[in-house]
Amino acid sequence: MIRFLIRRILTGALVLLLVTMVVFAIFYIGPGPKAVAHILAGKQATPSEIAAEARRLHLNLPLYHQYWDFLVNIVHGNLGYDFYHGEAVTTIIGQAFPITLSLALGAAILWVTMGVLSGVVSAVKSRSFADRVFTIAALFFYSMPTFVLGLLLLFGLYYELTIHGVSFFPGGGYTSIGSNPWMWFKGMILPWITLALVSAAPYTRLMRGALLDVLGEDYIRTARSKGLAERRVVYRHGVRAALTPIASQFGIDVGVLLGGAVITETVFSMPGLGYTAVQAIRAQDLPVIIGIVLIAATAVVVANVVVDIVYAMLDPRVRLH
């Protein structure tokens, strides 16, 4: 198990190293030293400020030296200074990341619970009315754009309730959990539901298909022939084996969401990583763009390493590969 974990961690570290190379090539080598210094110093920068930024980044040195400095700064948590906002990039990302983290983790708990439970019911009661209902619901929400579902929830549960005197759901924005936990929770409900309904659909289909395959295996028939209760056969032997594709999909989805749920954050006016990235792209705010790209890549890699560990716990055979 230890060797398996070491291999996965080293693989993740190699992926992140390759990401830093690609980012450096796109944002530093592509535009050229003068253009990079000008962009990083801001549109209103004077020639002396541009020259100072070029010296700070050692843009006059060979490319391998520039990349090494770039890598050392990242390792030390220095993502540069943003002249547009007048503060460090880590400060900007530090303000946006908790919002995206709250959105991603809360929605993930909802969609995994909904997807797994509905998938199990669909598999156990295959071709029943419940199976058809869950299948239709999964296809319906999977085909619905996230922004449409978000706007519908805002209209039905915020606007309509508010004009009828029921003011429970806020219309958007974000309240820190540290300042007011209750308002934080109320403000997150609609974004959570929006992401969960859209994201739960593939989990329902994955869980249904995987569990149907598992329930046809020889060891399941053997367990039934020994007289084990059907509930124990399904939930103790079948569901655990069927969770492996769910774990793989979950790692990808959570990693991407931690990188920034752009549409949901925009609809609900939540200044998370996705919303911040869109604003930075519009303003050509290069330091923030680079920082968010690196954070998003790290989130995806870390999420997948964690999922590999969970996968190995669910199916010990993967430790041998």
> Would residue 83 count as lying in a domain?
no
CA–CA gap between residue 111 and residue 299 (Å, rounded): 19
Q: Are residues 180 and 67 in the same domain?
A: no
**pLDDT band (50, 70, 90) for residue 317:** low
Residue that terminates a domain, selected from 23, 53, 78: 78
Q: Are residues 69 and 217 in the same domain?
A: no
CA–CA gap between residue 233 and residue 216 (Å, rounded): 12
Mean pLDDT (whole number) for 296-304:
83
Compute the mean pLDDT over every residue in the chain, rounded to the nearest whole number.
80
- Where do the H-state alpha helices sit in the chain? 2-24, 33-41, 47-56, 63-75, 89-124, 129-142, 146-153, 160-163, 181-215, 218-225, 230-232, 239-242, 244-258, 262-267, 273-283, 286-314
Q: Are residues 73 and 99 in the same domain?
A: no
The CATH number of whichever domain residue 166 belongs to comes to 1.10.3720.10
38 pLDDT above the threshold of 70: no
Q: Are residues 40 and 171 in the same domain?
A: no
> Would residue 129 count as lying in a domain?
yes
Could you report the per-residue pLDDT of 51-65, keeping only the tens digit for each?
A: 776 676 666 777 777
Q: Are residues 240 and 306 in the same domain?
A: yes
46 pLDDT above the threshold of 60: yes
Q: Are residues 188 and 299 in the same domain?
A: yes
Q: 3-state class of 86 per DSSP?
A: coil
Mean pLDDT (whole number) for 78-103:
83
Count CB-CB contacts under 10 A for residue 185. 14
**pLDDT band (50, 70, 90) for residue 127:** confident
> Would residue 88 count as lying in a domain?
no
Q: Are residues 17 and 129 in the same domain?
A: no
The sign one gets for the Cα dihedral 10, 13, 17, 19 is positive
**pLDDT band (50, 70, 90) for residue 281:** confident
> Would residue 253 count as lying in a domain?
yes
At 254 the pLDDT is: 77
Q: Are residues 51 and 103 in the same domain?
A: no
At 80 the pLDDT is: 76
Q: Cβ distance 179 to 235 under 8 Å?
A: no
Cα 176 to chain center, whole Å?
A: 20
Q: Are residues 55 and 110 in the same domain?
A: no
> Would residue 166 count as lying in a domain?
yes
> Would residue 90 count as lying in a domain?
no
Residue that terminates a domain, selected from 78, 111, 133: 78
> Whole-model pTM?
0.77
Q: Are residues 203 and 119 in the same domain?
A: yes
Range of the domain at 274: 95-320
Name the least confident of 218-227, 267-276, 299-308: 218-227
CA–CA gap between residue 192 and residue 159 (Å, rounded): 18
Cα dihedral 137, 143, 145, 149, rounded to 10, equals -10
CA–CA gap between residue 315 and residue 321 (Å, rounded): 12
At 192 the pLDDT is: 92
Could you report the per-residue pLDDT of 142-201, keeping only the tens digit for each?
A: 888 888 888 888 888 888 888 887 778 887 788 888 888 888 998 899 999 988 888 888
Q: Are residues 104 and 248 in the same domain?
A: yes
Residue that terminates a domain, selected from 50, 78, 106: 78
Q: Are residues 231 and 175 in the same domain?
A: yes
> Would residue 30 count as lying in a domain?
yes
**pLDDT band (50, 70, 90) for residue 259:** low
Mean pLDDT (whole number) for 250-274:
80
> Would residue 211 count as lying in a domain?
yes
Query: Beta partners for 81?
Result: 88
Mention every residue, 6+ apart, whose C-beta is less than 8 A from residue 260: 100, 272, 273, 274, 275, 276, 277, 292, 296
CA–CA gap between residue 248 and residue 246 (Å, rounded): 5
Count of domains observed in the chain: 2
